[in-house]
Structure 1
């Protein structure tokens, strides 16, 4: 196996001392411009790269940031959202030659323990955190160890914790506006994990929109899942088997929406003539199904780029602050239409006047 080039190798080939090599490669005074140029040329010829570990120990930073996902591993390969989010993050980080250290763990305790270990070992200069919880221990932990971080989503504020937010409440309001205008009054929300703050915001927003339109609680409801197609399908079957099945279903991701569409097909329900389906996140999956799914469209890679740039700004000394991502828009496609006539809202009966 080929041996990595060292400062000693560069010094030998360039005909200078190791101290001179260090001065030249680190842009420090003490060597002539001619020597600096010769040392850098030799370093490039030998394929030399600075040691990340040595840089971290010298206080120059690790040149890496971290991203930890505490979700069931089986659900990650199904969702396009995280792939797009990470691709956007990577665009910004790669441009600055910053590595992204990525790891999947079983739960929040493991995630917190990993942050402690990474920080103690100088593995990362900061982290990007996702899936804020309603009672989240991470802001307190990160503040206690002094680790800079950016949360993708709304979370408890902290001096070194910036935030990139999405307006989940407005997005849910747009979906309900669309379905209500079509005539739907029985709307079910197949939600994500109940511990996630964005899940609770969507559930609350659905409740607010239902109350604003005087819809009964049993007509508009949310059921939580683990985001998988299996649970999405199972919850859909349960809702359709109920005494007053919904006429419209809103799913918290594209995978569950497609699974719900499959359940409707196996039940012989025509979409959208008998059941309307909406997906929270748009993807190619939503566009190639038949019928194509009405979905919330947002630039997820741009959201990832915004989060990564916010972290780089924080590492450069900028104050922690919250920024809003571009709001999603509802793309109406063939999976939503007016409900069947039997379930459409009926006008109140006319009262007979007394004679």
Structure 2
């Protein structure tokens, strides 16, 4: 026989047990004047005994907020299940939100227009109090949109954003340029002169910063065969870009991948072509992960505390919701961890 689920306690239940009116319960639980301190304490004690929690929908309708933060990701959904960066980022976000009993509303969409449409719908439905915005673009319409809607936000991955003065928008980012410079310096010191960068989505600001840094470092060091190619971050496109690079007239002796998934796919392509890593090809992954540590050979990779990065972003958003002014915060630059996938090229 199917069990009937337990009924959630209501303010009427609290009023009945505490021996007061429903309006007195509302005043007491919302911190409003109109009841004595003794009544307020009795109501709160009864609410705790009954396990009562405020309704998020009711809070939103009353203008008290939804106690929920939104995150929309405009990327191919197939790339998310295997990429560790976003899983670690969200774990840090959730840790900070849970401490304040906030929820996280997450949605994946196909493009930037769809992402903006979600923001407008969430605002109209009072679904979220603020937003975490990822994958900033060079010309990004989202900050102005969110300021117009009155939704506080933290943009993750941008040193600065173009938004109207006074917008409640903070930024948190790491130095992609410094990180790429450390990779090129490491490979150049090993003797590599032909370096290919298999990058992510070309419209993202951090992709452009990494590509620009590679060009600048190549010009400074006299490396005419250093270049970048873009992908959708998936293992399939990472593998295909690797095949094209290795079949060119001057194949690279080192490849830098913008995520761990593509780097592991690149290892597989090198093996199918009979190339030994690192003797014939050095491989570097942008973000360290269990994949990087447990492949053979283990991958040289950039390492940072991604969960802490997400936690700081969420804490900045909660500060905005508490009325604090916006701020710009630079995270520590990812450090290059040398492992067995990089070595001197063959003479």
Common fold: TM-score over 0.5: yes
Match of 1:209 in 2: 217
TM-score, reference length from structure 1: 0.93
Match of 1:156 in 2: 161
Gaps of 5+ in 2: none
Judge conservation of contact 2:71–2:105 (CA < 8 Å) in 1.
yes
Match of 2:120 in 1: 116
Match of 2:148 in 1: 144
- The reply to whether residue 36 of structure 1 matches residue 40 of structure 2 is yes
The runs of at least 4 consecutive aligned structure 1 residues that moved more than 4 Å come to: none
Which deviates the most, 192-201 or 10-19? 10-19
User: SS of 1:124's equivalent?
Assistant: coil
Match of 2:30 in 1: 26
Which deviates the most, 149-158 or 224-233? 149-158
Match of 2:184 in 1: 176
Judge conservation of contact 1:192–1:224 (CA < 8 Å) in 2.
yes
User: SS of 2:197's equivalent?
Assistant: strand
- The reply to whether residue 268 of structure 1 matches residue 274 of structure 2 is yes
Judge conservation of contact 2:283–2:341 (CA < 8 Å) in 1.
yes
Shift of 1:327: 1.1
Task: Write out per-residue CA displacement over residues 81-114 of structure 1, whole angstroms, 9 at most, x where no aligned residue.
Answer: 0000000011111001111111111111111011
Which deviates the most, 92-101 or 318-327? 318-327
Shift of 1:199: 0.4
For residue 10 of structure 2, the aligned residue among 6, 16, 23 is: 6
Match of 2:258 in 1: 252
1: CA distance, partners of 2:322 / 2:26: 24
2: CA distance, partners of 1:317 / 1:43: 29
User: SS of 1:290's equivalent?
Assistant: coil
- The reply to whether residue 301 of structure 1 matches residue 307 of structure 2 is yes
Gaps of 5+ in 1: 342-355
Judge conservation of contact 1:162–1:310 (CA < 8 Å) in 2.
yes
Match of 2:335 in 1: 329
- The reply to whether residue 83 of structure 1 matches residue 100 of structure 2 is no
Shift of 1:46: 2.4
Shift of 1:139: 1.3
Over alpha carbons, which structure has the higher Rg? 1
1: CA distance, partners of 2:155 / 2:27: 38
Match of 1:344 in 2: none
Judge conservation of contact 1:299–1:326 (CA < 8 Å) in 2.
no
Shift of 1:161: 1.4
1: CA distance, partners of 2:97 / 2:258: 29
1: CA distance, partners of 2:19 / 2:173: 55
2: CA distance, partners of 1:49 / 1:319: 30
User: SS of 2:198's equivalent?
Assistant: strand
Judge conservation of contact 1:274–1:340 (CA < 8 Å) in 2.
yes
User: SS of 2:93's equivalent?
Assistant: helix
Judge conservation of contact 1:279–1:293 (CA < 8 Å) in 2.
yes
User: SS of 2:227's equivalent?
Assistant: strand
Task: Write out per-residue CA displacement over residues 109-162 of structure 1, whole angstroms, 9 at most, x where no aligned residue.
Answer: 111011011111111111000001122111121122121110001152322211
2: CA distance, partners of 1:215 / 1:11: 76
Which deviates the most, 134-143 or 62-71? 134-143
Please tell me the root mean square deviation across aligned C-alpha atoms, in Å.
Answer: 1.2
User: SS of 2:15's equivalent?
Assistant: helix
Match of 1:106 in 2: 110
Match of 1:348 in 2: none
